[in-house]
Amino acid sequence: MSKIQITTLIIIVTAVALIFFVPLNAQEDTTTYYPKEDQMSLTPIPPIYVATFSTSAGDITLELDAENAPITVANFLQLAKDGYYNGTIFHRIIDGFMVQGGGLDENMAPKSSGTEPIQNEANNGLKNNRGTLAMARTGDPHSATGQFFINHKDNDFLNHTSETSQGWGYAVFGSVIDGMDIVDQIALSTTSTIGGYADAPLEPTIINSVTVSE
| Domain boundary assignment for the chain | 3-39, 49-213
pLDDT per position as a tens digit, 159-170? 999 999 999 999
Q: How far apart are the first and last CA of the chain?
A: 82
State the fold for domain 49-213: Cyclophilin (2.40.100)
Residue 16 half-sphere exposure toward CB, CA atoms < 13 A = 6
Q: What is the pLDDT of residue 196?
A: 93
pLDDT higher than threshold 80 for residue 6 = no
Distances (CA, A) of 121 to 67, 80, 152: 11, 19, 20
Strand ranges (E), 47-147 = 49-55, 58-64, 88-94, 98-105, 132-135
Q: What is the pLDDT of residue 20?
A: 42
Q: What's the mean per-residue pLDDT of the chain? A: 87
This prediction has a pTM of: 0.80
Res. 46 pLDDT band, cuts 50 70 90: confident
Query: For residues 65 and 126, is the Cβ–Cβ distance under 8 A?
Result: yes
pLDDT per position as a tens digit, 101-156? 999 999 999 999 999 999 999 999 999 999 999 999 999 999 999 999 999 999 99
- Give the contacts of 101 (CB within 8 A, at least 6 positions apart): 85, 88, 89, 90, 91, 92, 147, 148, 149, 207
